[in-house]
Amino acid sequence: MPSLYIFLGLLLFSLQAPPCPAATDTLKTGQVLSAGDKLVSRNGKFALGFFNPSANISKSSDNISSSWYIGIWFNKIPVFTVVWVANRERSIAEPDLKLTQLKISQDGNLAIVNHANESIIWSTRIVNRTEASMNTSVLLHDSGNLVIQSTSNAVLWQSFDYPTDVALPNAKIGWNKVTGLNRVGVSKKSLIDMGTGSYSVQLYTNGTRRVTLEHRNPSIEYWYWSPDESGMKIPALKQLLYMNPQTRGLVTPAYVNSSEEEYYSYNSSDESSSTFLLLDINGQIKFNVWSQDKQSWQSLYTQPVDPCRSYDTCGPFTICNGNSQPFCDCMENFTRKSPRDWDLGDRTGGCSRNSPLDCTRNTSSTDIFHPLIHVTLPRNPQTIQEATTQSECAQACLSSCSCTAYSYQNTSTCSIWHDELFSVNQDDGIEIHSQDVLYLRLAAKDLQSLRNNKRKPNVAVVIAASVIGFVLLMVGMFLLIWRNRFKWCGAPLHDGEDSSGIKAFRYNDLVHATKNFSEKLGAGGFGCVFKGMLIDLTTIAVKRLDGDRQGEKQFRAEVSSIGLIQHINLVKLIGFCCEGRKRLLVYEHMLNGSLDAHLFQSNAGTLNWSIRYHIALGVARGLAYLHQSCHECIIHCDIKPQNILLDASFAPKIADFGMAAFVGRDFSRILTTFRGTVGYLAPEWISGVAVTPKVDVYSFGMVLLEIISGRRNSPNEYTSDNYHVSYFPVQAINKLHEGDVRNLVDPQLCDDFSLEEAERVCKVACWCIQDDEHDRPTMSEVVRVLEGMQELEMPPMPRLLAALTKCSDVGSI
C-alpha cells in the first residue's frame, strides 16, 4: 500500500512539473531538468546535467563522495571531462538528489532548486533585468556555452562569462570595461571536489595588460604572460600556443582591446577536434587535445613547465621535485596528514611531524637538525642579525619552540622560520635552481630513523617495486604468449596494441609519418633513426633496422626490454612494425638529441653545470631502476653519451637497448657474447668472464668523466717522435688525489660550477671504473651519493690505469 502512495505522488509531481524533453538543447520556462536528464548541444558535442565526480574515477568503490553537481561535459568522449560547473561551492548531497531540479525561476534566472522546500541551491544573476521575463529560455550552444536568452534572442547571461577551471574555444579570459565583469578562472579543490581551489588565472585590469597565474591565499603571483614589448598586438595566448609546433594550425589565438572589452581567447580551425585550456589542481595551465587514436587527452603545452614552480603546490612540510613521480613528498620524519586527499590531488593539508619537538622551558632543547640540500628556502624568513656563526644560528632556532628550520648563508646571514614551511623545492634542473641548504628541526628521537633510512631501502619503495615486478611479470607472460602466437612478425597486429600497450604500426603508416624517411636524426651500427609525426600530432623517432640477422636480434632485444618497462629516465617505446623483413621501432622523440652532441659538438651549445649534474643523476636513477627494480635485472651493456637522449627540459633518458642482457633474480651474473663500445668497456668484457650489472657501472663512470670535462676520455694526440695517447681517466684520478679537481672541469663553464659537486662526481666516477667489479658501487649507491645522502672515501688508482700511466711515462704507448 505505501508503494502505491509513492507511485501516485510521483505521478502527481510529473503532471505538475513538465520534464525536459529528451535529446534537446533547450530548457524552456515551466520545464525542469532532474537527475538522469540532460541537455545536449545540437552537434552532440556537449551535455548539461547532474554528475557525481567520484563515479568517474577509479576510487569510486571506496564511497569517497556522494556530492552531486550540475555542469557541462564533453558528451561524446569516453573519458568523462567536465568543462563548467554551476554549483561548485554548494554541492548536492545524495539524499537530496531526487528532490533537486534545474529550472527557470520566476525572475527569469536559471536556478537549482530543492522542490521539497523551494530553497535555492544556486542561481544565475541576470544583470539586465529589463529583458528578463517568464519567457526566457536556456540554450546549450555547440561551443559548450550555456546561454539564457530573451524572446528576442538577446543574451542575458552566459556560462562563458563565469568560467571555472576550463576555457573552451572562443571563451574569453579578460574583462568588460563597461560592466566591470572580469572573467577569472579558478582551479578545483580535488578530483571529487569541484569547489574553488588554490590557483586562479585572470587578466589584470590595472593597466599592466598581462594574464597572471596566482596562488589565491596568500595572493601571490608566480607566472604570467603578456604581449611583446614592441607595441605590436601579438596576442599573449600566442606565446602560450606557439611554443609547441603541434598546436600550430590547430588553434588560432586572438587578443582584443577595444573601448568595451579587453580579453584573450582562441578558436579551433577544426570544429571536429576537442580542445580545452585547463588550470589544473597543481596550478599549471595545460592545453589539452583529445587523441582519437590513443583515446585519451594529450597535453600539448604546459606552463609553468615545472609543477614545483606553482606556489605552495605541495602544502606545508613537503618537498617538491619536478623529476619525481609523484613530484610531492613529505620532509624527513613527516607523514601525510590525509593520504586520501593526496590521492585525490588535494595536498593543501601537507604533512605533519612524526615526533613532537622538545619545547621544555627549563632545560636546553635536545632537538636535532637535518640538512635538506639544494632546495629553495621557504617564504617569510626571520633574519637574526646577531648570529655570526652557524652554531649561533642553530641555537637561535632551538631557543624558540615555534622555530622549525634555519639557514646559514656564506655571507653570515642567519634566517630562521617559525611554524609551517611552504614552497621548499628541490633543485630539479627544470625551472628550479638552488644551491641553498635548509636545516630542518627534528626531535632527537628521529635521529635513529634517519640513520636507518640511509642504511635500509624505503619500505614503501620495496613494496611498490614488488607490486611493479609482479605486474611486469604478468605483462611479460602476455607478451611471451603473444610472441609465440604470432612468431614476432609472422602475423603482425596492425592498428592494435599488445598487452603491454605497445602499438603495432603498418609500414605504410610509418612511411607517411616520416615523409618517406626524409628527416634523419642519426645513424648507428644497426640502422638509422628518422623523425616523424603521427596523425594525433605526436612527434616520434623511428629506428629502421638494417640487416636481417642483426636487425631481428636488436628488434627482439629492444621490444622485450624497454617495451616492458617505463621510467622517467628511460626512453619510451611507443610501438613497432614488422612486415616481411622490415623491422622498425617507434620511440618518443627527444627534442634536444643526444648527450654526445652537446658535450662534443661546438654547434650544440654548452650545457651548464646544473644541467650536467642532473643528467648524471637522472642516468644513475635510470640504471638503478634497470638493475634493481625490474622483474629481471636488465644490463644495458652499451652506456655511452650517444645512448643518452635529452628531452625538451634536458632531462636524460637512456636509449638503445639493442644489446641489453637479462639476469634472473636467482642469478648474479650471465655469460653472454662480447658487446659494447670501445672506451666504455669494463675489463671483464675483455677477459671473457660472466658479467654482472657492474659493467654498466663501469661505463657510467666513463660517461661521468666526459660530463665533467666536456672532452672524450681518450683522444689521440700525435707528437713528432711517436704516437701518444693522453688518457683522461688517468689525469682525473691523479688530479682528484692532488685535490685539483677544478682543472678537470670543462673550461667552457668559465668556473661557473659547484666545486663540491664536481669533486663528488669525480669520486663517483673513479670508484665506478675500478678494475675489480666488487670495488665498484651499485647504481643505487651512486644515486644516494649524487643526492648527497651518502659519502664516499677517496678511491684508489685502478691497477690498469696505473699501468697506463707508467707506459705513458716511458713513451711506450
* CATH number of the domain enclosing 107: 2.90.10.10
Whether residue 601 lies inside any domain: the answer is yes
User: pLDDT > 70: what percent of the chain?
Assistant: 76
Mean pLDDT (the chain) is: 81
Q: What is the CATH classification number for the domain harbouring 244?
A: 2.90.10
Does residue 46 contact residue 171 with C-beta atoms inside 8 Å? no
543 is in an annotated binding site: yes
In the chain, % of residues over pLDDT 90: 41
The last residue of a domain, from among 543, 569, 588: 588
Kind of pairing between the strands at 26-28 and 137-140: antiparallel
Cα angle 449, 455, 456 (rounded to 5 degrees) comes to: 80
**With the CA atoms of 212, 220, 81 and 47 taken in that order, what torsion angle do they form, in degrees rounded to the nearest 10?**
-70
Length of the chain: 813
Task: Inform me whether the pLDDT recorded for 727 exceeds 80.
Answer: no
Within 10 angstroms of residue 236's Cβ, the number of other Cβ atoms is: 20
**Looking at this protein, which amino acid is placed at residue 312?**
D
Inside any domain, residue 10: no
Q: Given this model, what pLDDT does residue 503 score?
A: 85
Same domain, yes or no: 107 and 204:
no
Q: Are residues 148 and 178 in the same domain?
A: no
The pLDDT, as a whole number, for residue 483 is 46
Q: How far apart are the first and last CA of the chain?
A: 105
Round to whole Å and give the CA distance between 770 and 233.
61
How is residue 577 annotated by DSSP? Answer: E
User: CB 777: neighbour CB atoms within 10 A?
Assistant: 20
Of the listed ranges 276-285, 288-297, 412-421, the one predicted with least confidence? 288-297
Q: Is 539 helix (H, G, I), strand (E, B) or coil?
A: strand
> Is position 9 within any domain?
no
Domain boundary among 271, 304, 337: 304
Residues 301-314 have a mean pLDDT of 88
Range from 30-34, 300-304, 421-425 carrying the lowest mean pLDDT: 300-304
Domain boundary among 455, 481, 498: 455
pLDDT, residue 264, reads: 87
Question: Is 7 within the bounds of a domain?
Answer: no
Is 120 in the same domain as 194? no
Residues 25, 65: one domain? yes
Say if pTM beats, i.e. exceeds, 0.95.
Answer: no
Close Cβ partners of 632 (under 8 Å, ≥ 6 residues apart): 662, 663, 664, 665
Q: Does pLDDT of 806 surpass 60?
A: no
Domain that holds residue 414: 328-455
Of the candidate ranges 111-115, 408-412, 793-797, the one whose mean pLDDT is the lowest: 408-412
Q: Is the pLDDT of residue 543 over 80?
A: yes
Q: What are the tens digits of pLDDT across the range 703-725? A: 999 999 998 886 543 333 333 44
Confidence grade of residue 236 (pLDDT, cut at 50, 70, 90):
very low
Segment (H or E) for 2? helix 2-16
Predicted local confidence at residue 802, as pLDDT: 63
Say what the pLDDT of residue 489 is.
42
Residue 717 sits in the same domain as residue 604: yes
Residue 638 bears catalytic tag: yes
- My answer on whether 339 and 396 are in the same domain is yes
Pair (712, 667) in one structural domain: yes
SS3 label, residue 722: coil
Q: What is the mean pLDDT of residues 401-408?
A: 93
> What is the number of structural domains in the chain?
5
Residue 547 in any domain: the answer is yes
pLDDT tops 70 at residue 552:
no
In a domain, 314, yes or no: no
In a domain, 11, yes or no: no
Which pLDDT band, with edges at 50, 70 and 90, does 451 fall under? low
Residue 478 scores a pLDDT above 60: no
Q: What is the CATH number of the domain that holds 649?
A: 1.10.510.10
Which range is most confident: 155-169, 349-363, 622-636? 155-169
* C-alpha to C-alpha distance for 737 and 339, rounded to whole angstroms: 48
**In this structure, what is the dihedral angle of CA atoms 612, 617, 621, 622, given to the nearest 10 degrees?**
10
Among candidate residues 343, 428, 498, 638, the one labeled active-site is 638
pLDDT for 247 equals 52
CA distances to 159, 537, 765 from 761, rounded to whole Å, are 56, 39, 6
Q: Within this chain, do residues 584 and 599 fall inside the same structural domain, yes or no?
A: no
Would 124 be classed as within a structural domain?
yes
Looking at residue 580, what is its pLDDT?
79
Which pLDDT score, from 0 to 100, does residue 496 have?
A: 47
Confidence of residue 409 (pLDDT cuts 50, 70, 90): confident
Q: How many CB atoms lie within 10 A of CB 179?
A: 12
Do 634 and 648 fall into the same domain? yes
At 370, the pLDDT band (50, 70, 90 cuts) reads very high
- Whether 741 and 679 map to the same domain: the answer is yes
**Domain containing residue 558: CATH number:** 3.30.200.20
Shared domain check, 563 and 483: yes
- Taking 60 as the threshold, does the pLDDT of residue 133 lie above it? no
Contact between 22 and 31 (Cβ < 8 Å)? no
- The answer to which of 107-116, 124-133, 667-676 has the lowest mean pLDDT is 667-676
- What confidence tens digit (pLDDT) does each residue in 561-599 have? 666 677 889 998 888 888 878 888 899 999 888 999 899
Does the pLDDT at position 301 exceed 80?
Answer: no
- Confidence band for 291, pLDDT divided at 50, 70 and 90: confident
**pLDDT reported for residue 421:** 95
State the pLDDT at residue 233: 35
Q: What is the pLDDT of residues 148-169, one digit of tens each?
A: 998 888 899 999 999 999 999 9
**Whole-number pLDDT of residue 272:** 81
Question: Do both 253 and 343 map to the same domain?
Answer: no
